[in-house]
């Protein structure tokens, strides 16, 4: 006989059992303990709407026992109560309930201040639902995208009718939380569902069982959660046919084990064949009373069916009697199960969370309690796209006496009255103060009670509505939502495997994977300064800008005098935004009269492309912009022997005459066609070789091979940081702020102020007319500096170190930092902790630039 | 189970006036002409025919727009094919795009990067900037469950 | 999750494929005073607003469209 273990106890499992059915048959009546008062809670809704039966299954908490199929070998644990759910010492809280009105913990434990963190920890221990399985392996959740014409949520009569009809109009997907027909006890309804399901499938509708729609977002886009996948559904229309659950009755004793909502009781008795009690009283004010009585009788119980208002349910561990005000007067019944069908609570959370007109309801969710034929007709009408019928949930059993309103959070009518009298006088505020509707059921049972309470108290219309519905409708695990989300989307250069093979530490540099160092940063720096080295700079943004108005475009957008760049020459490029602030920098090389090659920083490539395309568009210029960042690799050959190395691999003229500084030429190196650009970022003779990406490995290998004669080694980002700092070259976003105009960075030489028009010109004029209030300066230190450290003058903080290093080539510890002016002048001697910093001329190394001009 | 394989494709970009591109006669050798923007056509063809197609298009486009640009940009693109009976369903794990019909193409978010998608014999070809190649392959294997094709 | 933006080349797409370029504004001003307003000030209207969007994951071109900042609906 298949079995499962519940808190270690062996329980038989029969075909078709849910965990709740197997447990109930075995005599389990208390499934959980309530949040604050630790009251016994038993099966209530039986349909997955409330939170009484949450259990931990095979280590995963938060599973609803009443809808989870039982399987042989399952390990089930109840989650609340200490030391056990059956014998819970914290049930003492229930006795002390009077002393603990809602919100008491905010007031009692707030003073003295040190008490709150302790109190908070204790309160957390005493409440809560389950323990997180910190050691459980992460489940792999897939994410799938689906686009359909119509999404139907709910595979009941109305939903399947809608699907069958809508299928004539385009693709249809039906998302049903369980299996079709799982909670249907009426034989006529089961037949209808079978018929409609066949019709829908034959018409081409796809039915996804075991999939719950947890939220509808703008679009409309719907998140549908299955056991192993998250499906993002984009649909032109969404039909919500999620049905209704019985209204939650509020009266003393309403949360006792043994009190059931009608349909759940019927499912237990008729589908699982487990009698819910010997003497059952059904209080039904809806049309379903007779059907419920038949279903429950079929389970073997003795049934009394009455209509009226429940005054009180009594019992200690379980219900033992109920008192009802019937049309004939007050009557009392002894019973061991009380079944309620007092009204309807449509499962309308999904409908209420969206204002999109494409999302409509059909069936019980709009008008509950109707006949099968009406439900089918309603579904078909929605499937056809007929105008939406007005919603009519029917009468609501307004709470007239004390009882638990929010069962999940242990909020009683008394608590609501108390909170209202304290001044929390709207349904939204009442929710936040009392936490009603904020439990695992998310107001499925009680949100209308909260609104009705506000209405009964005379609240204004704006203060008595249902509280805002938000996703998710059912609590998903975080892992369920992360599916295909990954930390980084990573870009790799063609040389990535070469760097890995050389033992490089690979860093995330923005979205790129780049080598930080190959193991010896000082060695790499020495190779550049004394011999020759190579660096993979393929990550640079690269653009071809060509066409009859290409020069006009570049001249209008950038602050440099493009016309004065002769073919064969290049110039340092500053990109300014409309406020005159530095956005990016790079190089502009003139290839011809109307053809230009532009580079940007590695992180700025996409922004540069967007920038160029925007201005081409707005200025309506004939210019082509081609993003070649992926197409071309780039290797920087740098060091006093750079030219010597290239000479062994190239027949071309590499002299300054042929490749001026700054300038470029097309040469062939090791058989690979390259655009060699003479650059000066690291302060040594350098040639940046831009070449087809497909030949990067070939070129790299040839350079390292031929470079062995000079004991070549590649250098990475760590070395680059020091090398460029010795030349006081700025790193954007590290040394610069978003509102730095060129003067603040000492880069005004890169701005051709005589030009008529360029982006940011007027803003620059405005700012240059004002005294400079902040500058980036070079600094020399008398001790080891720290990046980010504040700089102080006379005890007042006036700036910050943005980059620093200890460098022999620079003659000691040096760095960059920004300073603000005090009374119009910039201080020249500062303190950074124990270290003195002196403003110093830059660059620190080779100030005349002799070495890089080679 | 869908399979993953690299495809050797040639990619030629034609940047020209929209009116010129409207009138451009497609290149031969089975080249697919993708109108990725009003002012840009990407011609995609088996790698063997790249230079032939480039020459063909350079001549044709020059006749329609003297200021046009026609370049072989094959190095800048990585082409990954997902083949098999359930290629479309496999693709749905990587992207919300509708897989294109026979001769068409789609461009948009695939595995969170900018991609073009074409239908090819046996399945779908995804073109991404070359620096995304390993990323897309990893997502196709980890998230969409493809297996490496042999041979 | 899926505010939809219409790109003339690629069709209706989730906004996550785009880069937002802000309110549409003039590309130049006749004088210094209007330039200040053009660069630093925004209307920030509640209601339909003309905006610039760049289709970063698609055709990589700019589009000007109208979005209602209240309902977040983008006009086709």
pLDDT digits (tens, 9 = 90+) for A146-168: 999 999 999 999 999 999 999 99
Q: CA of B130, closest CA in chain C: separation in Å?
A: 15
Q: What CATH architecture applies to the domain A3-109?
A: Roll (3.10)
Is any Cβ of chain C less than 8 angstroms from the Cβ of A839? no
pLDDT at A400: 85
User: What is the residue range of C11's domain?
Assistant: 4-28+36-68
Q: Which residue has the higher pLDDT, A88 or A259?
A: A259
- From A147, A493, A624, residue closest to B96, measured CB to CB: A147
User: From residue A83, how far is each of A33, A89, A472, A552, B91 by CA, in Å?
Assistant: 12, 7, 32, 80, 50
Of A618, A627, A765, the CB nearest to C27: A618
Nearest CB to C10; choose among B96, B107, B113? B107
| CATH tag for A771-853 (out of 1.10.3720.10, 2.30.30.790, 2.40.30.110, 3.40.50.720) | 2.40.30.110
With cut-offs at 50, 70 and 90, classify the pLDDT of residue A129: low
pLDDT digits (tens, 9 = 90+) for A221-267: 999 999 889 999 999 999 999 999 999 999 999 999 999 999 999 99
Q: What is the pLDDT of residues A794-820, one digit of tens each?
A: 999 999 999 999 998 999 999 999 999
Any CB–CB contact under 8 A between A470 and chain C? no
Query: Within this chain, do residues B58 and B113 fall inside the same structural domain, yes or no?
Result: no
pLDDT digits 0-9 by tens, A578-609:
999 999 999 999 999 999 999 999 999 999 99
Mean predicted confidence (pLDDT) in A72-87: 89
Q: State the smallest CA–CA distance between residue C45 and chain B in angstroms.
A: 30
Nearest-CA neighbor of A151 among A212, A234, A244, A243? A234
Say yes or no to pLDDT of C73 above 70.
yes
Calculate the alpha carbon distances from A850 to A356, A567, A644, A846, A847 in Å. 68, 24, 17, 7, 8
Structure confidence at residue A84 (pLDDT): 84
Tell me how close the Cα of C38 comes to any Cα of chain B, in angstroms.
Answer: 30
Domain assignment present for residue C14? The answer is yes
Cα distance between residue A734 and residue A743, in whole Å: 17
The pair of three-digit structure tokens given for residue A452, joined into one six-digit string: 């009705």
Record: contact A629-B131, CB cut-off 8 A: yes
CB–CB of C17 and B113 under 8 A?
Answer: no
Look at phi and psi of residue A89 and say left if phi exceeds 0, alpha if psi is from -120 to 50, else beta: alpha
User: Which positions in chain C touch B115 (Cβ < 8 Å)?
Assistant: 57
Q: Which of A346, A345, A344, A355 is nearest to A470 (CA)?
A: A355
In a domain, B27, yes or no: yes
Does residue B144 share a domain with residue B80?
Answer: yes
Neighbours of chain B (3+ CB pairs under 8 A): A, C
Query: Chain A residues with CB inside 8 Å of C28's CB?
Result: 757
- Over residues A559-575, the mean pLDDT reads 95
Check pLDDT > 90 for residue A755.
yes
Q: Does domain A496-538+631-724 have CATH number 3.90.1150.10?
A: no
Whether A511 and chain C come into contact, CB under 8 Å, resolves to: no
State residue A379's pLDDT score: 96
A436-492 pLDDT, tens digit each: 999 888 898 999 999 999 999 999 988 888 999 999 998 888 888 877 666 678 999
In percent, the amount of chain A with pLDDT more than 70 equals 99
Query: Does residue B87 register a pLDDT over 90?
Result: yes
d(CA B105, CA B44): 11
Number of structural domains (chain C) is 1
The alpha carbon of residue B151 is apart from the nearest alpha carbon of chain C, in Å, by: 32
**Helix segments in A623-760, DSSP class H:** 642-649, 696-707, 717-726, 742-745
Residue of C nearest to B34 (CA): C59
pLDDT at A342 over 70: yes
CB nearest to B67's CB, from A146, A512, A622: A622
- Closest residue in A to C28 (Cα) is A759
In the prediction, which pLDDT does A141 show? 84
Provide, as residue numbers in chain B, all residues whose Cβ is less than 8 Å from the Cβ of A489. Answer: 111-113, 132, 135
Contact B114 C60 (CB under 8 A): yes
Instruction: Judge whether A812 is closer than 8 Å to chain B, CB to CB.
Output: no
Under an 8 A CB cutoff, do C60 and B38 touch?
Answer: no
The pLDDT assigned to A36 comes to: 83
In whole angstroms, what is the distance from residue A691 CA to residue A670 CA? 12
Q: Are residues B137 and B117 in the same domain?
A: yes
Say what the pLDDT of residue A610 is.
98
Helix (H, G, I), strand (E, B) or coil at A225: strand
Contacts of B6 in chain A (CB under 8 A): none
- For an interface test with C, the pick among A147, A151, A353, A578 (most C C-beta atoms closer than 10 Å) comes out as A578
**Assigned domain for C74 exists:** no
Within-domain flag for C41: yes
Q: Is A365 strand, coil or helix?
A: helix
Mean pLDDT value across chain A: 93
Q: B114 vs C58: CB contact, 8 Å cut-off?
A: yes
Tell if the CB–CB gap between A626 and B39 is shorter than 8 Å: no
Q: What is the pLDDT of residue C1?
A: 43
Distance in Å from the first CA to the final CA of chain A: 88
CA–CA separation, C8 and C3 (whole Å): 16
pLDDT for residue A723 is more than 50: yes
Q: What's B104's domain CATH number? A: 3.30.1360.120
- How many CB pairs below 8 A link A and C? 60
Instruction: Give the integer Cα–Cα distance in Å for A437 and A426.
Output: 14
Contacts of A579 in chain C (CB under 8 A): 39-40
Number of domains in chain B: 2
- Residue ranges of domains in chain A: 3-109, 142-245+346-384, 250-341, 404-475, 496-538+631-724, 541-627, 771-853
Q: Do B109 and C10 touch (CB under 8 A)?
A: no
Is residue A234 less than 8 Å (CB to CB) from chain C? Answer: yes
First to last CA, chain C: 19
* CATH assignment at residue C58: 3.30.2270.10
Q: For position A128, what pLDDT does the model report?
A: 67
Pick the CATH number of A541-627 from 3.30.110.30, 3.30.70.1400, 3.40.50.980, 3.40.50.12280: 3.30.70.1400
Question: Between vectors from CA A464 to CA A460 and to CA A469, what angle results, nearest 5°?
Answer: 145
Are the Cβ atoms of A613 and C54 closer than 8 angstroms? Answer: yes
A219/C contact by beta carbon, under 8 A: yes
Say if residue B90 is in the same domain as residue B138.
yes
- Residue A493 contacts B, CB cutoff 8 Å: yes
Q: Do C59 and B36 touch (CB under 8 A)?
A: yes
Residue B41 CB: number of other CB atoms within 10 A? 23
> Does C19 sit within 8 Å of A610, measured CB to CB?
yes
| Yes or no, beta carbons of A579 and C28 under 8 Å apart | no
In angstroms, the separation between the Cα of residue B63 and the nearest Cα of chain C is: 25
Residue C76: inside a domain: no
Within an 8 Å CB–CB cutoff, is residue A626 touching chain B?
Answer: yes
Pick from A390-404, A683-697, A830-844: least confident: A390-404
ipTM field:
0.97
> Does the fold of domain A250-341 match that of domain A142-245+346-384?
yes
Give A306-339 pLDDT, tens digit per residue: 999 999 999 999 999 999 999 999 999 999 999 9
**Angstrom distances, CA of residue A441 to CA of A49, A407, A438, A447:** 6, 9, 8, 10
Tell me the nearest-neighbour CA distance from A507 into chain B, angstroms: 16
CB contact under 8 A, A617 and C3: no
Mean pLDDT, range A45-63, rounded to an integer = 91
CB B120 within 8 A of CB B54: no
Quickly state the pLDDT bin for B9 (edges 50, 70, 90).
very high
Parent domain of B66? 9-75
Ranking A266-270, A354-358, A682-686, C16-20 by mean pLDDT, the lowest is A354-358
The residue in chain C having the minimum alpha-carbon distance to the alpha carbon of residue B129 is C57
Cβ neighbours, 10 Å, residue A364: 26
A417 has a pLDDT exceeding 90: yes
User: Per-residue pLDDT tens for A621-672?
Assistant: 999 999 999 999 999 999 999 999 999 999 999 999 999 999 999 999 999 9
Q: What mean pLDDT do residues A369-393 have?
A: 91
Domain A250-341 has CATH 3.40.50.720: no
Of the residues B22, B41, B75, the one at which a domain ends = B75
Residue A285 has pLDDT above 90, yes or no: yes
* CA–CA distance, C71 with C69 (Å, rounded to integer): 6
Domain with residues A142-245+346-384, CATH architecture = 3-Layer(bba) Sandwich (3.50)
* C75 found inside a domain: no
């Amino acid at each position: 006989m298949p079995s499962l273990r519940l808190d270690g106890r062996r329980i038989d499992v029969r075909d078709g059992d849910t965990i709740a059915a197997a447990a109930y048959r075995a005599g389990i009546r208390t499934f959980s303990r309530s949040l604050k008062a630790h009251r016994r809670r038993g099966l209530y809704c039986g349909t997955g709407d409330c939170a009484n039966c949450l259990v931990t299954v095979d280590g995963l908490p938060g599973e609803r026992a009443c809808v989870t199929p039982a399987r042989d070998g399952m390990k089930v644990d109840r989650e609340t109560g200490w030391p056990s759910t059956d014998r819970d010492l914290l049930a003492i809280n229930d006795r002390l309930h009077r002393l603990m009105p809602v919100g008491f913990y905010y007031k009692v434990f707030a003073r003295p201040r040190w008490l709150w963190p302790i109190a908070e920890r204790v309160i957390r221990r005493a409440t809560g639902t389950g323990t997180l399985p910190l050691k459980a392996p992460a489940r792999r959740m897939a994410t799938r995208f689906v686009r359909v014409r119509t999404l139907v949520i709910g595979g009941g009569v109305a939903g399947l009718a809608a699907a069958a009809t809508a299928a004539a109009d385009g693709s249809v997907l039906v998302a049903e939380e369980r299996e079709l027909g799982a909670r249907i006890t009426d034989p006529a309804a089961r037949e209808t569902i079978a018929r409609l399901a066949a019709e829908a499938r034959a018409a081409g509708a796809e039915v996804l069982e075991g999939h719950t729609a947890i939220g509808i977002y703008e679009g409309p886009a719907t998140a549908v959660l299955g056991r192993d996948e998250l499906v993002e559904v984009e649909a032109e229309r969404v039909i919500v046919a999620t049905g209704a659950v019985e209204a939650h009755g509020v009266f003393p004793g309403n949360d006792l084990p043994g009190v059931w909502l009608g349909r759940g009781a019927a499912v237990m008795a008729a589908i699982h064949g487990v009698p819910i009690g010997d003497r059952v009283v059904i209080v039904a004010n809806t049309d379903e009373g007779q059907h419920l009585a038949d279903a429950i009788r079929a389970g073997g119980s003795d049934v009394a069916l009455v209509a009226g208002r429940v005054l009180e349910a009594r019992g200690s561990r379980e219900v033992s009697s109920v008192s009802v005000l019937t049309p004939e007067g007050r009557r009392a019944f002894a019973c061991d199960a009380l079944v309620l069908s007092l009204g309807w609570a449509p499962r309308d959370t999904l409908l209420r969370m969206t204002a999109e007109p494409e999302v409509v309801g059909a069936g019980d969710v709009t008008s509950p309690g109707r006949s099968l034929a009406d439900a089918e007709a309603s579904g078909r009408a929605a499937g056809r796209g007929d105008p939406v019928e007005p919603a009519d949930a029917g009468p609501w059993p307004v709470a007239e006496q004390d009882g638990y309103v929010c069962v999940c959070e242990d909020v009683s009518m008394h608590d609501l009255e108390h909170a209202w009298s304290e001044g929390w006088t709207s349904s939204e505020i009442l929710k936040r103060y009392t936490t009603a509707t904020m439990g695992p059921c998310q107001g499925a049972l009680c949100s209308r009670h909260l609104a009705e309470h506000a209405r009964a108290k005379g609240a204004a219309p704006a203060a008595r509505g249902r509280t805002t519905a938000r996703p998710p409708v059912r609590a998903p695990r975080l892992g369920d939502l992360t599916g295909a989300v990954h930390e980084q989307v990573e870009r790799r250069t063609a040389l990535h495997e070469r760097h890995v093979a050389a033992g490089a530490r690979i860093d995330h540099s923005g979205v790129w994977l780049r080598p930080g160092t190959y193991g010896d940063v000082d060695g790499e720096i020495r190779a550049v300064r004394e011999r020759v080295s190579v660096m993979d700079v393929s990550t640079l943004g690269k653009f071809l800008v060509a066409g009859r108005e290409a020069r006009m475009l570049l001249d209008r957008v950038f602050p440099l005098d493009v016309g004065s760049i002769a073919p064969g020459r290049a110039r340092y490029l500053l990109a300014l935004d409309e406020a005159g602030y530095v956005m990016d920098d790079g190089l502009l090389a003139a290839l011809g009269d109307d053809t230009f090659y532009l580079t940007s920083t590695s992180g700025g490539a996409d922004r540069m492309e967007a920038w160029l395309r925007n201005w081409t568009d707005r200025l309506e210029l004939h210019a082509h912009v081609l993003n070649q960042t992926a197409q071309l690799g780039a290797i920087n050959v740098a060091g006093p022997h750079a030219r010597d190395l290239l000479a062994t691999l190239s027949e071309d003229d590499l002299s300054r005459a042929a490749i001026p500084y700054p300038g470029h030429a097309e040469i062939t190196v090791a058989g690979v066609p390259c655009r060699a650009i003479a650059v000066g970022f690291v302060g040594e003779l350098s040639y940046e070789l831009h070449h087809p990406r497909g030949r990067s490995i070939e070129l790299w290998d040839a350079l390292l091979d031929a470079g062995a004669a000079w004991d070549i080694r590649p250098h990475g980002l760590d070395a680059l940081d020091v090398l460029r700092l010795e030349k006081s070259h700025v790193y954007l976003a590290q040394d610069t702020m978003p509102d730095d105009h060129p003067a603040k960075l000492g880069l005004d030489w890169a701005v051709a102020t005589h030009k008529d028009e360029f982006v940011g010109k007027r803003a620059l004029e405005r700012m240059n007319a004002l005294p400079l209030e902040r500058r980036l300066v070079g600094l020399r230190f008398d001790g080891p500096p720290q990046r980010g450290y504040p700089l102080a003058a006379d005890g007042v903080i006036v700036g910050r170190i943005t980059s620093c290093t200890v460098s022999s080539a620079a003659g000691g510890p040096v760095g960059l930092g920004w300073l603000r002016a005090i009374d119009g002048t910039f201080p020249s001697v500062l303190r950074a902790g124990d270290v003195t910093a002196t403003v110093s001329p830059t660059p620190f190394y080779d100030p005349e630039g002799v070495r890089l001009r080679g | 189970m869908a399979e993953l394989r690299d495809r050797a494709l040639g990619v030629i970009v034609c940047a020209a006036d929209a009116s010129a591109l409207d009138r451009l006669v497609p290149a031969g050798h089975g080249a697919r002409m993708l109108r990725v923007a009003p002012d840009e056509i990407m011609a995609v063809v088996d790698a063997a025919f790249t230079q032939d197609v480039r020459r063909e298009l350079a001549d044709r486009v020059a006749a329609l727009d003297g200021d046009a640009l026609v370049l072989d940009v094959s190095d800048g693109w990585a082409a990954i094919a997902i083949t098999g009976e359930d290629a479309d369903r496999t693709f749905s794990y990587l992207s919300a795009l509708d897989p294109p019909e026979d001769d068409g193409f789609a461009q948009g978010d695939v595995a969170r990067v900018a991609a073009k998608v074409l239908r090819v014999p046996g399945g779908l070809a995804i073109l991404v900037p070359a620096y995304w190649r390993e990323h897309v392959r990893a997502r196709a294997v980890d998230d969409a469950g493809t297996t490496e094709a042999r041979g | 999750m899926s505010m939809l933006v219409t790109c003339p080349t690629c069709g209706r797409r989730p906004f996550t494929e785009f880069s937002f370029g802000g309110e549409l504004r003039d590309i130049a001003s006749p004088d210094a005073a209007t330039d200040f307003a053009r660069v630093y000030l925004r209307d920030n209207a509640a209601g339909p607003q003309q905006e610039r969007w760049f289709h970063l994951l698609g055709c990589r071109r700019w589009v000007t469209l109208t979005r209602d900042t209240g309902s977040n609906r983008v006009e086709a």
